[in-house]
Amino acid sequence: MTIGVAHRISLRWRVTLIASLLSLALFTCGSLLLYHDLSGRLSAAIDAELDVRLDDLEASLGGTQSGDDDAFLRSQVIGVDGSVEEPPGSAPMLTSGEIERARAGPIVIERTVAGVGTTARVSARPVEVSGGTRVAVAAASTRPLQTARDRLRRTLAVFGPLIAAAIGAGAWILTGAVLRPVEEMALGAATISASSTGRRLPEIAGSDELAVLARTLNSLLDRIGDAVAHERTFIDDAAHELRTPLAILRGELELAALDVTDHDAVEESLGGALAETDRLVALTTDLLILARSDAGQLEPQPGAIDVGATVVEVVRHLPAHDGIRVEAVDASDGALALADALWVRQMVTNLVGNAQRYAASAVRVSIDATATSVEVSVADDGGGVAPASIPTLFDRFSRGSQARNLTGITSGFGLGLAITATLAEAQGGTIGVTNGPPLGGACFTMRFQAVGPEPTDASER
């Protein structure tokens, strides 16, 4: 049976076939052993019967009466001259050469003997008596042996296939019962599609392998369902966020096209279009970062950087926002951290921009160092983050509750904090948020792994 044919046969049929063939092979081996054992025992019985008859003949030569022959047993005594002395007038059962061999020692041969059967076992041995060496000969029919062998062969030939068939039927029934839950799971899996990710495979009671498999597959389906739902939400939110700037961009261009002679209006419309284009570029860049993160392709280029100097430089070049004061306090004393410099700049920009939107008047960026980490905190004096919103604050397109919206500003794509958390995790850092000190509003804290003053990996970008 080729591999291709085996693969086309169902598992149930394969198990049944293997069980039947294996049982037949074991039965055949057992039958051969039984046949060999029975043949040996019957042959030993015939030899023992011949030995008893020869003992009787030897005793009769000494004057003791010997036993009588029957339809399956013949005996005779061959004299010194090679003629049959007992019973007189009968033909010798041995040839002259065999007689000479028997005078030298016991012999056993098989041949046809008249009156015994087509095949007989002949045993002969020398007997020393007065007047010379005679030969005692006994022959027994092997027909009982052949009959027993034939009967055993017929019995085994009938019961062997029956036993194999019975075991195969049992294997078929047992395999069907074992595989029935698997078939139900397969039918259940066939009904699951991208539009029905809430369906689950039927559970199996107990703690055996199939029950564990069903629970494991359902757990896998739960994770897949969550991933699909997350992807759908991400796509829906991205489409919604793209629609607004695209609509504004279209409106600005249509407004500019109404009266191309009004240079001030055209310039204002083009300026608005450029601003919306910048927003679209920023959104697509953020979406690309998240997509690379989901695909496991977001790779930092870390180096030992002066986090304090990097953050202060970023804050210095940030544009003003509605009169919100932004200050940087560097208490890290030039501490180095293993981080990607470009990513750190983007993370600080995201956090400060978020704080500016929700601050009442001030934003403070603090850089501190410990023996194991360098911390960057961005605090504002706004209303803080509602405790119920903290668990999902770093999710994509999440903007928290209205506690973060005191200024009434709702702009932004809801990706800044998600991008920041993604970049922090990708380079081995962490980010968290608390309410209260130092300014009374929200305080976001990033932590990076501290390194010594002589970095071993100082990749520059």
Q: What is the pLDDT of residue 411?
A: 40
pLDDT digits (tens, 9 = 90+) for 276-313: 777 677 667 767 777 776 667 677 788 898 999 999 99
Among candidate residues 402, 353, 400, the one with its CA nearest the CA of residue 380 = 353
Does residue 457 carry a pLDDT above 50? no
The answer to whether the CB of 137 falls within 8 A of the CB of 75 is yes
Statement: residue 110 has pLDDT above 80: yes
Q: Specify burial of residue 225 (Cβ count, 10 A radius: 0-12, 13-18, 19+).
A: middle
Has residue 215 got a pLDDT over 90? no
The pair phi, psi for residue 269, each rounded to 5°, is -65, -40
Assigned fold of 303-451: Heat Shock Protein 90 (3.30.565)
Select the more confidently predicted residue: 36 or 409: 36
pLDDT at 29 over 70: yes
Instruction: Decide: 343 and 423 in contact? Cβ < 8 Å.
Output: yes
- Mind listing the pLDDT tens digit for each residue in 346-375? 889 889 988 988 899 999 999 999 889 999
Architecture (CATH level 2) of domain 1-190? 2-Layer Sandwich (3.30)
Annotate 283-294 with b (16+ C-beta within 10 A) or e (fewer): beebbebbeebe
Averaged pLDDT for residues 34-50? 89
Do the domains at 1-190 and 303-451 have one common CATH topology? no
Q: What is the pLDDT of residue 62?
A: 57
**Between 355 and 414, where is the model more confident?**
355
| Per-position b or e across 55-86, b if 16+ CB within 10 A of its CB | ebbbebbeeeebeebeebbbbbbbbeeeebeb
Phi, psi of 315 (to 5 degrees): -65, -40
Give the chain's mean pLDDT.
80
Query: What is the pLDDT, as a whole number, of residue 293?
Result: 67
Q: Residue ranges per domain, the chain?
A: 1-190, 209-294, 303-451
Give the lowest-confidence range in 81-85, 134-138, 412-416: 412-416
What was the pLDDT predicted at 350?
87
Q: Which pLDDT score is estimated for 192?
A: 75
- What is the pLDDT, as a whole number, of residue 398? 61
Domain 209-294 sits in CATH at 1.10.287.130
- Average confidence (pLDDT) over 46-66: 77
pLDDT for residue 403: 37
The residue with tokens 């976001």 is 444
**Is 0.85 topped by the overall pTM?**
no
The C-alpha atoms of residue 77 and residue 124 are separated, in whole angstroms, by 9
d(CA 380, CA 362): 6
Say whether pLDDT at 405 is over 50: no
